[in-house]
Each structure stands twice: as C-alpha cells, then as structure tokens.
C-alpha cells in the first residue's frame, strides 16, 4: 500500500478507536485477498474492507452517538452493573429496545434480547 497516499480513514482526527483502524483495514483486506486466492491486496479488496469498516463505524455512531460514548466502556471485562448502566443509558436515549421472552415451561427467568430502536423484531 502506498504510504504517501493514506486513505481518508487514516487522515482523520486520531481518536482511540481510530488509532488501529488502518492496521485492521489492511488485515481484513489481506484476508479478502487470501479468500480470493490472490497473493497481493488489490483495489477491490480494499474497497470491500472500507465498506465493512464504514458500516461498522456508522453502526457504532448510530448506537452510541457522539455524546453517549464512554471511552472506558470497552476496556477490559465489565461488571454486570456497569453493563446494565450502559444499556439503560442507550435504552433511555431511544437507541435500544428490550424484549423479554419467557420460556413455555415457566422455569428460569425470561431471556432478554436487545434490538436497535425502530427496527424491532419481537418474537
């Protein structure tokens, strides 16, 4: 890859999640090239990879927004109360919708499933 012409993803302001973006994009493009039995990364591999990266970034931005993101949220394992608090914030902000599904035999607690708000597929 020509280091003189870095993709737009590498030229953006460096935030924590973007620091490793270029390396991940190159690795995924290499995987696509390997799956195509190519020994070099070609433009279609990079284009496919960037499409996946954009989709992932847009999804994260849609779920968390700019004001909801907590930089420490995804570091290390989290305790249940931390996860519950984060999910509650997303639910209150209208980003997630919770569906509880009870098992027909009545044993155990209901399963809890989360869906993006506005795109709920209730069982």
On whether both 61 and 74 belong to a single domain, the answer is no
Q: Supply 23's token pair.
A: 């390396």
In angstroms, rounded to a whole number, what is the distance separating the alpha carbons of residues 54 and 99? 28
Residue 58 and residue 94 share a domain: no
Judge if 75 and 111 occupy the same domain: yes
**The token pair that represents 42 in the structure block:** 């070609």
In 3-state terms, what secondary structure has residue 119?
coil
Q: Which domain holds residue 101?
A: 70-123
The answer to whether residues 58 and 41 belong to one domain is yes
Question: For residues 9 and 18, what is the distance between their CA atoms, to the nearest angstrom?
Answer: 8
Q: Are residues 77 and 94 in the same domain?
A: yes
Q: Are residues 75 and 120 in the same domain?
A: yes
The total number of structural domains that make up the chain: 2
Which among 49, 65, 81 is the end of a domain? 65
Q: Are both 51 and 91 inside the same structural domain?
A: no
What confidence tens digit (pLDDT) does each residue in 20-65 have?
A: 788 888 999 999 999 999 999 999 999 999 999 888 888 877 776 6
d(CA 34, CA 112): 39
Q: Is the pTM of this model over 0.75?
A: no
């Amino acid at each position: 890859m020509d280091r003189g012409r870095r993709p737009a993803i590498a030229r953006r302001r460096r935030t924590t999640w973007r620091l490793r973006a270029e390396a991940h994009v190159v690795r995924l493009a290499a995987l696509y090239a390997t799956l195509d039995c190519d020994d070099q990364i070609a433009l279609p591999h990079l284009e496919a990879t960037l499409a996946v990266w954009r989709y992932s970034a847009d999804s994260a931005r849609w779920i968390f927004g700019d004001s909801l993101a907590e930089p420490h949220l995804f570091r290390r394992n989290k305790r249940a109360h931390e996860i519950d608090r984060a999910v509650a914030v997303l639910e209150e902000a209208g980003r997630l919708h919770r569906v509880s599904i009870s098992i027909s035999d009545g044993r155990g607690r209901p399963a809890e499933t989360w869906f993006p708000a506005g795109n709920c597929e209730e069982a």
